Amino acid sequence: MEQWQDDLLSARLLAEMGIEVEFVAWDDPGTGWDSFDLAVVRSTWDYTERLDEFLAWADSVGPEKLRNVPAMLRWNSDKRYLAELDGAGLPVPPTALVAPGGAPPPLGGRVVIKPVSGAGARDTGVFDEQEEEQALDLLQKLGSQGEIAMIQPYIPWIDERGETAVLFFGGRFAYALKKKAFLPKSGVAPVRPGTTVAERMFDQDLMSMSEATDAEIELGTNTVAWLARRFGSVPLYARIDMVSSPAGGPVLMEVEVIEPSLYLELASALERPGAELFATAVEAELS
C-alpha cells in the first residue's frame, strides 16, 4: 500500500488527537487485525485485480472493525449496483450489460463501454455508431477476461461541465470537487505504462475544488442515507460522482465507498480542512 499524501495528512491529525495510526497492507499475512480497534480501507488500489481475495479479507476483518463494512465493499465492487440504485428511485444513466459471449445491443449513438468491476478507467472506451468494430473488440476483450461489460450512453454535458464529486464523512456533507472530462473523444483510454490506470487520471488538474448545487448535495445525501439503510451502517466515507445537465437535475455516475481518492490536500484551504473533517469522522467511529 502506498502511503499517499491524503493518508498522511489525516494520520498526522489523528496522532495529534492521541489516536495511534499504523499503515498496513491489506494482504500482509503477518498482521493481526484483532489488535486494531478500527481498520479503515484507503489506498487498496490493487483490489480489482484480486477481488475475491480482497473481499474474503474484508469478511475476515468483519463489520465491527472494518470501514466501510464488508457488505458495502462487496456491493460497491460491481457496478451492477447501479441497477439497485435505479430501483430505489435514484437517477442513473440507462445501462445495458453484456456477459462474456453475449450478444451486444445496438450502440444507438455515442456510448461508453467499461467493465462492471474495475477502477481507474481500465479497459474503458468511447465509441459512436461508426466505430462499432472497435466497440466490439473491447467487448470481446472483456469477455475473454471473463468480465461483464456495461454500456451507457455518453453524456455530452461532461465535456463542458465535467463531473461533480460530492464527499461525505460520517454521513455528513464535507465538500465538493469538479472532475474534468478525461476519456478520449473516441477509442479506449490509454493507460500509464506499468499500471492499469488511464493516463489522464494522473493529470495535475484532473480535480479542483467546487461549489455543489443544492440539488447535487441533496442527491448525495439521499444516496448516503440509502446506503446506511441498505447496509445498517453509515459509511465512514463516500464519494458520490454525478453529472448535472444544463436544464435538469444531477444523474449518478458512480458511488465510491471502497477506495476513493478524497483529495484532502485540495480541501486544505477550507474553513475546516478536509483532513480535519475526515479525521474527526474516524475519531467518532472509535468513540
**CATH number, residue 167:** 3.30.470.20
| pTM, full prediction | 0.89
In this prediction, residue 3 carries a pLDDT of: 45
The domain that contains 133 carries what CATH number? 3.30.1490
How many other C-beta atoms can be found within 10 angstroms of the C-beta atom of residue 112? 20
- Residue 104 DSSP one-character state: P
Residues 114 and 254 in one domain: no
C-alpha–C-alpha distance, residues 187 and 205, integer Å: 22
How many other C-beta atoms can be found within 10 angstroms of the C-beta atom of residue 283? 16
Residues 45 and 176 in one domain: yes
All cell numbers assigned to 275: 483532513
CB 6 within 8 A of CB 23: no
Total count of residues recorded for the chain? 287
CB 273 within 8 A of CB 17: no
C-alpha–C-alpha distance, residues 79 and 209, integer Å: 26
Residues 36 and 127 in one domain: no
All cell numbers assigned to 5: 499524501
Structural domain range at position 39 = 5-91+156-286
Residues 69 and 196 in one domain: yes
Provide φ and ψ at 163, rounded to 5°: -110, 150
Residues 60 and 140 in one domain: no
Beta strand 111-115 pairing with 125-127? antiparallel
Domain count, the chain: 2
How many other C-beta atoms can be found within 10 angstroms of the C-beta atom of residue 118? 20
Residues 126 and 187 in one domain: no
CB 10 within 8 A of CB 278: yes
How do the pLDDT tens digits run along the chain, 287 residues long?
Answer: 344 778 899 999 999 999 999 999 999 999 999 999 999 999 887 888 899 999 999 999 999 999 999 999 999 999 999 999 999 999 999 988 999 988 888 888 888 988 888 777 788 888 988 888 898 889 899 899 888 898 998 888 888 888 999 999 999 999 999 998 777 787 787 778 877 776 766 767 788 999 999 999 999 999 999 999 999 999 999 999 999 877 778 999 999 999 999 999 999 999 999 999 999 999 999 98
Residues 116 and 38 in one domain: no
In this prediction, residue 2 carries a pLDDT of: 43
In this prediction, residue 200 carries a pLDDT of: 67
Residues 128 and 104 in one domain: yes
Residues 147 and 62 in one domain: no
Residues 184 and 230 in one domain: yes
Residues 191 and 236 in one domain: yes
Residues 167 and 251 in one domain: yes
Of 131, 153, 175, which marks where a domain is finished? Answer: 153
In this prediction, residue 1 carries a pLDDT of: 35
All cell numbers assigned to 102: 453475449
